[in-house]
Structure formats: C-alpha cells, structure tokens
Amino acid sequence: MSRKTEHTPANGSLQERLEKSGRRLTAQREHVYDVLLQKKDHPTAEEVFIRAKKGMPDISMATVYNCLDALVSCGLVRQVNQDRSATRYCSNLRKHHHFHCDECGRAYDIDLLPDAPLPDVPLPEGFLASQLEVTVRGRCPDCAGRSTKQTSSAS
C-alpha cells in the first residue's frame, strides 16, 4: 500500500491509539489519517473520500466513514459540526478553536497561544465533562470583502 506522508512520529501513535481502543491498524485507517494530515482544511467525509481514492482507488465511502469514526474515537481527529451541512473532520491536535463563516460555510482553525486559558465552565451537579469546544461565527476574510461589521475579537 502507498505510504505518501511520513507521519512517522504519529504513526506509532496511531497504532497505539487504535489498539488502546481495541482496534486494528489497517492500511485504510493509515491512509485516511494521512489524507487528513496532508491538508488540514476540515474536509467533509465526501472530500476525504475523493482525496483518499487518489492513493487508494478501491477504498469505499463506507470505509471512509468507518475510518473517520475510528480516528475520532481514538482522539486523533475531531468532528466539527457547525451547520446543517456535512460534518467536517479536523486533525489539528493543538489547542485551538474554530471559526465558522456564515457566508461560505468554511471552518477555520483559530490557534491559541499555548498558555491561553480555556474558559472555565461550571457545570451543574452530575455532568461529567470530557472536552470543551469554542466556535466563533461570523465572516471569513474572503467573504467579509469590503463591508465592516465588528471588531476582530469575539467576546
């Protein structure tokens, strides 16, 4: 099977993480992960499928969904749902938020300073938190064009 990206450091990590959740390392899972690492533009499952077929022409859509699910439950990939359209997938593991353009629908990573504090959200009794997500909505540079609406800081 083709090995396009040398994600060597993460490679071991991929296998480890898969095994930790009782799954096997397969060529398809490696390849789908590669595809996500190669272009971190938050592709949809369909886009991942199209890209994945280039290096692995026989991969099927069902497998792409399977692989994405496996990667998500391994914690190597995040699912991004911002509107009624298809779910997007994010392989950026650094601490970051997302920006959703209301006009074109694209998702952008908003990287945080490594020491930036995440908001502390006090939860009612009984809730167990595992992850925090912050999404800013608005218009991306491409779509903002000439008109101005607000400052460049969301609060």
- Does residue 90 bind DNA (CB under 7 A)? no
Number of residues that bind DNA (CB under 7 A): 28
Query: How near is the Cβ of 116 to a second copy at its closest, in Å?
Result: 9
Reference 38, options 72, 78, 5, 79; nearest CA is 5
What is the rounded distance in angstroms from the CA atom of residue 24 to the CA atom of residue 114? 33
- Interface with a second copy by CB under 8 A: which residues? 79, 81-84, 87, 97, 99, 102, 108, 110, 117-141, 144, 148-155
Given a second copy, DNA, none, residue 128, with its beta carbon under 5 to 8 Å by kind, binds a second copy
Q: Which stretch binds DNA (CB under 7 A): 84-92, 108-116, 124-132, 147-155?
A: 84-92
- Interface residue with DNA among 36, 45, 71, 76 (CB under 7 A) is 45
Closest CA to 135 of 153, 110, 103, 106: 110
Q: Could you give the maximum distance between any two Cα atoms of the chain, in Å?
A: 52
Nearest CB to DNA, comparing residues 87 and 92: 87
11 near DNA, judged by CB under 7 A? no
Cα gap 131→144, rounded to integer Å: 31
Which of the listed partners (DNA, a second copy, none) does 72 bind, with a CB threshold of 5 to 8 Å by partner kind? none
Of 154, 141, 69, 133, nearest to 106 by C-alpha is 141
Contact 40, 96 (CB under 8 A): no
- Indicate the residue among 80 and 136 with the shorter CB distance to DNA: 80
Please say which residue, 105 or 112, places its beta carbon nearer to DNA. Answer: 105
8 A C-beta contact, residue 23 and residue 32: no
Give the pair of three-digit tokens for residue 84.
Answer: 């009624």
| Residue 13 binding DNA, by CB under 7 A | no
